[in-house]
Amino acid sequence: MDVLAAIQKRREITAFKELPISETDLGKLTMALYQSPTGNNLPSREFIVVTNKPLLAQLSKTTPYMRWLEQAAIGVVIIGNEELSKYWLQDASIAGGYLWLAATSLGLGAAWGAVYHSEDHNESSQRENYVRDLLNIPAKLRVVAILGLGYPASDPPPKKMYAEDTVFHRNSFGLR
């Protein structure tokens, strides 16, 4: 599947079949993460691929909004290094987008579990520390998100989008 087709096909998938992801496909997914661009070309984001089922079950309790992780074949924890680059959050987010599209192109589904919370410092610390403790992540690294991946239990229809002029402008804000 080419990248434009994957963009159109991609949905958030939160229910998965009990099928493993092959090592070949896992290699393609990690390649997508590895090749994702970063500001200043610095390795400002790192990834923990979680295949251990009991660990996925524990991670699914990081927030109330990622219970689907328990069913996923793998989880990918995306970590940002704010000491290395001021672009850590953008870099981590782009990597997650690449992973999501790569998963779609392989016939897999993915869901995004937000960990980092930009508005509520205490909530963010609580969530990030929970993941840090489970995965031995150094305190200086930020935990941005956990994506869950697996074979989709269902095939959701293409997304119904809002009108394009909600978000597009031409040459100047407000001009179409």
Using the minimum distance from each CB to ligand FMN, give the nearer residue, 22 or 125: 125
Q: List C-alpha distances in Å: 13 to 114, 119, 174.
A: 15, 26, 34
115/26 Cα distance (integer angstroms): 23
Structure tokens of 30? 């990690």
The tokens of 118 are what? Answer: 């930009």
Q: How far is the CB of 174 from ligand FMN (least distance, A)?
A: 26
Nearer to ligand FMN, 28 or 67 (CB): 67
Label residue 107 left, alpha or beta by phi (over 0 means left) and psi (-120 to 50 means alpha): left
Closer residue to ligand FMN in complex, CB, 11/28: 11
Least CB distance from residue 171 to ligand FMN, whole Å?
28
Q: Which residues bind ligand FMN (CB under 6 A)?
A: 11-12, 14, 65-66, 111-114, 159
